[in-house]
Amino acid sequence: MTEDNAAIVIDSERAANVLSESAPQVFADMTFMDAVPVSVSWGPKADTVPAAQGAAQRVHIAIDMLKPLSCRLELEFPRSLGDRINETLYADTAELVDAGDDSTLEMLNVMAGSFLSTYFGSGTSFKLELPFFIFGASEVSGPAIARIELEADGIPATLTLRSIRYRY
């Protein structure tokens, strides 16, 4: 953690509200899907949500945000939602199979940028790592700041903002 972001404290309720507004907008803009928040939680209670079942049929992706604060945005959803996004974006093209995972990673990247811009204001300089897949347990974890459960055209998804501290 650098000196620049050491003093930043994120308001978990505000973060949850910003995520619950920006995530549906990203779904609409990028995938033409209606995403409706069905549950919003923040602070310690955000960590009390039970783990999703059927890990083999779920996709878990994340992006680390390093500036202006150190946190991770995770998106977890059934493989069927990823397939639906892929079909929407690449219908009737040969790219359908190859581009599916890239589509969801790019969507998470846009969600992170949208969250940071809305939370800290446009023009704020921020640094994002590349989005990635999480297989099994994450090596870097921290307490949940906020959790949004969504339904995107009726398919559930969970968006979690975590505070992270890297082991050096």
Q: From CA 109, how far away is CA 128, in angstroms rounded?
A: 8
Non-local CB neighbours of 7 within 8 Å, separated by 6+ positions = none
**Mean pLDDT across the chain, nearest whole number?**
83
- Per the listing, tokens 């890239």 go with 102
Q: Is 134 helix (H, G, I), strand (E, B) or coil?
A: coil
137-164 pLDDT, tens per residue?
Answer: 666 667 899 999 999 999 999 999 998 8
Non-local CB neighbours of 10 within 8 Å, separated by 6+ positions = 69, 71, 119, 145, 163
The structure's pTM equals: 0.85
Q: From CA 33, how far away is CA 38, in angstroms rounded?
A: 15
Distances (CA, A) of 57 to 61, 103, 147: 13, 18, 21
Domains and CATH numbers, the chain: 31-49+57-163 (3.40.1550.10)
90-136 pLDDT, tens per residue?
Answer: 776 655 555 557 889 999 999 999 999 999 998 889 899 999 998 87
